[in-house]
Amino acid sequence: MVEPSLAGRRALVTGAGTGIGRAIARALAREGATVAVTDLDLRAAEATAGEIGIAAFGTGLDVTDAAAAEAVFAEAARRMGGLDILCANAGISSMHLVKDLDEAEWDRNMAVNAKGVFLSDRAAVRRWLADGTKGAIVNTASMAGKIGAPWLAHYSASKFAVVGFTQALAREVAPHGIRVNCVCPGFVRTSMQERELLWEARLRGMSVEAVQADYVAQTPLGRLEEPEDVADAIVFL
């Protein structure tokens, strides 16, 4: 029998209560990792951990809070006996024309999507450098972090930041045996995308069905991504 590829590894996933994060946590556990499931919504984190079973536990985490990130990472490492993997996945989105976008919404997207990745990655890297251990980070960016998306200028800016930060950090810590990558999902079937379909339909004066058909038409495989598609790529990395 083939041993799971991540047997004995200890992972922490942010934004793991629903959607892509939930799929990541489940996929990591399937491959043998013990998983700290974190989310702003504690109940959602605990629900995901409950689905996984004894190889996981759930805890609340606001990724925009530096002190909370350090504390949660320390507690997770204590409970699991260490930390080998970080999946910085927590993120939000909203849609507005730039002319209607206010500073609060810009700041909110930047705080969760960009600053949240920075604080999470920093907490993991600090621990590994202090311990002299190696680790792997996978950040969740977006295809909107590679090609600017209309109605998502603030979201795109935050995800471009994730891509650039990932590249810079990877070069900085590679000599210490720490690997840093990011994934850039496309149109993924999640509750966040369901909200985006409604927002975009209103902004474009189209039906939800027409917007979704446009998403599919832009996807070479001819279907929407599933959260598990993204999770499988992250497990590989």
Place of tokens 């590989």: 236
Q: How many CA atoms lie within 13 A of 227 on its CB side?
A: 19
Annotated catalytic, 215?
no
3-class secondary structure per residue, the chain:
CCCCCCCCCEEEECCCCCHHHHHHHHHHHHCCCEEEEEECCHHHHHHHHHHHCCCEEEEECCCCCHHHHHHHHHHHHHHHCCCCEEEECCCCCCCCCHHHCCHHHHHHHHHHHHHHHHHHHHHHHHHHHHHCCCCEEEEECCHHHCCCCCCCHHHHHHHHHHHHHHHHHHHHHHHHCCEEEEECCCCECCHHHHHHHHHHHHHHCCCHHHHHHHHHHCCCCCCCECHHHHHHHHHHC
Find the catalytic residue in 118, 155, 160, 165.
155
Q: How many CA atoms lie within 13 A of 198 on its CB side?
A: 7
d(CA 135, CA 132): 10
The count of residues in the chain is 237
User: Which are the catalytic amino acids?
Assistant: 155
